[in-house]
A and B are shown apart, each in its own frame.
Chain A
Amino acid sequence: MMLILLISYVIELRVIYKMRKKGDVFTTSNLLALVIAAIGIALLVVVGDRILEKYQNQDSKNAQKLLDSIIAKINALDEGEENSFTFIWVKDWRLAGYNEDENRPEKCLGACLCICPPASKISNFPNILPEQISLCQDRGFCRNVEFDNVDLRIRNVITFKGENCIDWPTKKPFGFYGQVEGVIEPSKGNILEDTSGQRSVALELIISKNSNLSIKKSHYVDRKDVFGIGTRVVEENGKQVCYGNYPS
């Protein structure tokens, strides 16, 4: 970059020097030097722009990588299998799921998953907002998936003193599903309820697949903040353990 600048500068100096010396502005050589200087400046602008664009596209590239990583993990799962994965999320990008029979970006041939900048409006199903579809079409990345239904929502995991409550029958973390939102994004919890404006940087996604694809974002909620879900704290080996669906 510095070399280009230097060359342009030397050429321009040469032009000025000649103009002063000869008092002749429009000789062919001066004109040529001016043209070359102009090309140099234009190249400088182009290169600068390319470099700037490259830097500014970092989020976009990360978003694409994130989507590809999610797709690869879905593909690696066996039919009927469920697993949880940690993803470092890209700030201000959202994962949107589309079924074959609903409005979707044109670049989706059927059911698909897209990662896109979020629409400004808040809605029950933000994925099918025209603004969101348009953002996914124009600035997002989409991958077709072969499932009858794509289900994106929150799974609330109940905690007690920082530890997960355990579902008594299955011995898995106890929780309940939030409503289908059609998107997953780094908001702290449910999109409609979250007014904090805070964003998570890491998300835990529970992915399961059969004929449908289900992606659930884990949202950890303290037991005391949720009413009527029937958890119970019992003493086990001198330690308090929280259970859901505990036998009465």
Chain B
Amino acid sequence: MSLWSRIVNGLRADRLNREIDEEFASHIDEAIEQGREPLEARRAFGSALRQRESSRDARLIVWLDSLRADAVFGWRQLMKRKVTSAAAILSLALAIGACTSAFRIVDALLLRPLPIYAPERLYSCYHTSILLGGNPLTLDGYEYPMFRQMRAAVKDQAELIAVSFASRTDLTYGSDLEMEKGYVQYVSGSMFGSFGLRPALGRLLTEADDLTPGAHPYAVLSYDYWTRRLGGDPKILERTFRMGGNLYEIAGVAPPEFAGVEPGTVTDIFVPTMMNPGVTQLDRSWIRILVHLKPGIAAESVRDRLRPPFQAFRTGMVKRRFAGANKERINKLLSEALMLEPAGAGISRMQRDFHQPLTALSVLVALVLLIACANIANLMTAQAASRTREMALRVSIGAGRWRLLQLMLVESAWLATLASAIGWAFAWWSAPFIVNRINPPINPARLILSVDWRVLGFTAVLTLAVTCLFGLGPALRTSGIKPASALKGGEDPHSRGRLMHALIAVQTAFCFLVLFVSGLFVATFDRLSNQPTGFSAERILTVDAEAKRTNTPVFWEQIAERMRSVPGVEKVALAGWPLLRGDATIGSISVDGRPASAELGYFLDVSPEWFDVMKIGLIAGRDFRQDEKDPGSAIVSEAFAKQFFHGENVIGRYFEKAESRERYQIVGLVHDVRYRDVRGPMLPVAYVPFRWVDASGAPKPKRWATFIVRSAIANPESLAPALRQEVPRSNGAFQVGNIQTQQEINQSHTVRERLLAMLALFFAVVALLLAGVGLYGVLNYSVLQRRKEIGIRVAIGAQPGSIARLITADALSMVFIGAIAGLTIGLISARSITSLVYQVKATDAGVMAFPVAVLLAAVLLAALPAVIHAVRIDPAQMLRSE
């Protein structure tokens, strides 16, 4: 009550003053009424001012009142220089906003623990493998039969949970013509229980839903999907949907906070692993294995128990699939060991892909913030200079050092708080903007960007840190003022300049670093996106299709024929999958009965005319004929011929797939293309006929294929609706999946690089702008300070050139020092981002020249106004005004 009244009094201090004064006046009045002399009564009362001060102190909280007074004063100071303050606040807001939005994304993707029971005890299995060829990759996809053995091995130490990779899947709540996509994830029935989750509606899956393959058609919807797609329908438990030939009953809705375990993807529908045909397949890696440790169990001991079943299963797999493969490769495969990594913040590919880019961007953003802070520190220093007399006066009438410090810091806090508020609004908009650009449009990223105490706390801490960063230096300097010398105007005028120049050097170093790194990113994106792929993506539409039952190649060819009659379609070919989608089939190659190669060959099944549709040039030999079969003939790429035939003439020669002993005769040689990835060397590819036959020559069925459609019109995506509807109508035995242009597929490989380049470029521009403004401010200030000196110099005949040198010499040497420092840091730090750059070396002359040139231009531009100002100083006028 009393504290409250004191706070309230603090807020209405003027009224309090009046009240106290009135009470004092009534005291004097009373005294006069009692017959005392007015003069005597006033004298006896004592110093009204002092009494009022101590009365006030009794009735309000002193520090709060002084804070209020400082806040009001600080606000007035800001308003006095509206333009400068607005510029300072906006530049800081941009930097703080960028930091906040970077934090929001980093937190949502990498740091925030899953909303589950004991997330710190959740681990995920992975191993580093050469299975897919090329450099060793981190793999975390496993086979279900192995998972079963592993689960049994650690039953009393940990709960093992199988979780499939969330994938966009066709499903329908009505007829087949109303197919839609949903992110479906197959999960162990024990997951919800182990995570301690409670249903928002109905029930969640349990272990009883995960016992017999194909026997548990129950689904749990995510809360997000339930509200977004189904409008939060309370009767949802009565509805069913069809997916992949099964009719699923909706068992319940998951709690709102749980969106699956893959940050970057919001799972729509959870179904039991038993509903996936993969549970009995030995060679399908389709699940992640999560390990939820029981209390007090060490991850290492569980890992050691998981390794024997892992090894046993891998040995079996190698025997089954790689019997004829290269010995060295087999040994390598067998020596790969299972590892565990913490998965308390979830586990997703997006985390792996964006961990480094986000870290790099965060550093850039922090540098931009530091540049902005340096700017404001310089501004404050310059302003403090013009307020020397005011401060000296305050000290002389008894203000303590702490009080002055408070005064200055409150003003800084105003700046920082206003900037944070605007920055917050900026982050509000920019974080989702960036997330929308993380993934290609067909597979958009969805990050839960909640605003909670973590983000609020981050901004609060940032605001405080920023206040201290730019406010403390100038405040300490000002508060340490010596009134006697200051009032005489005898303070060393260069000490301030030294601080400002040091900050210029720091700014330049950071700015250079930002420019340098963003130059690397932009160059990387440029190289990657302009790199020849070896085929033409123009006017190509890829149509993925899935047969309801596996079907013979002839069936697929009939559909392709039907597609050719759709208006606007020029040519149609068939392939196992589109180039660059990321799929691959690999095998060791054996030539002329020699042992299997250590290097792998890559395969793709294509129909005749495929090379023509993709515009891949034939170097020698011929295209496939309609009746050619796999195994039988093959067309190989230049890299293949070079790798396995040492560049000899390959037409008519034979090779074998070492694993299956299938024999191929080479009928054609084609140019290299980008097969799986746009990075790295061209892979040795062997194309095989689309018609697949078994050992006896009978056609083998295929379930999936991709139609490669070349359109006669410029925008192939306009064909999509016709192809999606028209074609299945003529033949209901298959359904159309994703339809993508080849351009989209190509671009999806550079989404990360494009995002990095775009943001880095943006921050580079901001950094440059801030540093330029900073330099301009300092130069301008020094011209103002040295007006007299310049006037005298001009009066005694100094040339404009020497004046310009006088003004800029110090600052430019600082810029030089800063640039050298920035370059050094840049070269050192470039090592930590080698995986983010492609075909660009940090030491390339071009990469180094770019920031140097840009910085030089910016410095000249920033220095120009101050130099012009200095040269134009009229000595007569200047000296007269003194």
Co-complex (A, B): no
Q: Which residues of A pack against B, CB within 8 Å?
A: none
Q: Which residues of B pack against A, CB within 8 Å?
A: none
